[in-house]
Amino acid sequence: MKALHTDKAPAAIGPYSQAIMTNDFVFVSGQLGIWPQTGELGVGIEEQSEQAIKNIEEILKAAGLGLRNVVKVTCYLKHIGDFAAFNAIYEKHFTGKPARSLIQASLPKDAMVEIEVVAER
């Protein structure tokens, strides 16, 4: 088991790793739409969704992987009413159509979206 870290994605905001690589899988911790350069959240569901996915891409890149390797996605939305707007962003990036769960939840930093993934090496 190996913890992964990249400065191209926001540092963990708690006692956890950006991702853990074990055997053939990489488990990426939930990513908010935070700009790694400033630590600030993007504005609106679209911008936060795009940035959360970019953060995931950078973490996967640190493991030598990409979104094509993702087998499971778990999505959390602050407002389920943002489902359609979120899906429009999501389907542009997750073209391999991995398994997915999506729920409404209270999120850290009052974020609008959080996304976590499991990828296969």
List per-residue pLDDT tens for the chain, 121 residues long. 999 999 999 998 889 999 999 999 999 999 999 999 999 999 999 999 999 999 999 999 999 999 999 999 999 999 999 999 999 999 999 999 999 999 999 999 999 999 999 999 9
Pair of tokens at residue 90: 């999501």
Round to whole Å and give the CA distance between 59 and 110.
23
pTM here is 0.96
Pair of tokens at residue 106: 């209270």
Other beta carbons less than 10 A from residue 75's beta carbon: 21
pLDDT (0 to 100) of residue 13: 81
Query: What are the extents of the domains in the chain?
Result: 2-120
For the domain bounded by 2-120, which CATH number is listed?
3.30.1330.40
